[in-house]
Amino acid sequence: MAEIIYREESYKIMGACFEVYKEKGCGFTESVYQECLRLEFQRQGIPFVAQPIFELEYKGTKLEQYFKPDLVCFGSIIVELKALSKLIDEHRAQALNYLHATKFRLCLLVNFGHQPKVEYERIVV
C-alpha cells in the first residue's frame, strides 16, 4: 500500500476547511473563504503563508511573471481554493503546474462552491 504523504498535516488543513464550510456554507467568493480559512488556521495553530510569491524560470532564465498560490501550509503543502460549482481539469492542471514549479509534492485543491459539502482533491507528484 502506498504511503499517504503529509497525512496528519492534510487532516488538519481539511478539518479547518470543513469548519469554514460549516460556518459559511457555499455561495461566497473565493476571497471570503480565503480570509475565513486564514482566521481558522490561526485559531487552530496551523502554520501558513497567504499568497506567497513564487518566481518562475524558462530554460534557466528568470521570468518577470510569477505566481501566487492561495496558501502554503507547513512550508510544503499548497492549498488552492476555488468557489465554483465543481472542479474541472483546468484546476487540476493549475495545481500540477504549481507543484512542478515549486518542487512541492502535495497540493490540496479545495472547492467551497460545491453543494452539499466541500469538494477537495489531493494532487500529488
Q: What is the pLDDT of residues 48-95, one digit of tens each?
A: 999 999 999 999 999 999 999 999 999 999 999 999 999 999 999 999
% of residues, the chain, pLDDT over 90? 98
What DSSP designation does 35 have? H
| Predicted pLDDT at 110 | 98
Once rounded to an integer, what is the mean pLDDT over residues 23-46? 97
* Predicted confidence (pLDDT) at residue 45 exceeds the cutoff of 90: yes
| Distance between CA atoms of residues 122 and 110, nearest Å | 9
Other Cβ atoms within 10 Å of 59 Cβ, number: 4
C-alpha cell at 89: 481539469
Q: Specify the 3-state DSSP secondary structure of 84.
A: coil
| Distance between CA atoms of residues 118 and 87, nearest Å | 11
Domains and CATH numbers, the chain: 7-124 (3.90.320.10)
| Predicted pLDDT at 3 | 85
Closest residue by Cα to residue 105 from 122, 91, 125:
125
| Distance between CA atoms of residues 5 and 9, nearest Å | 9
| Predicted pLDDT at 1 | 65
| Distance between CA atoms of residues 95 and 79, nearest Å | 9
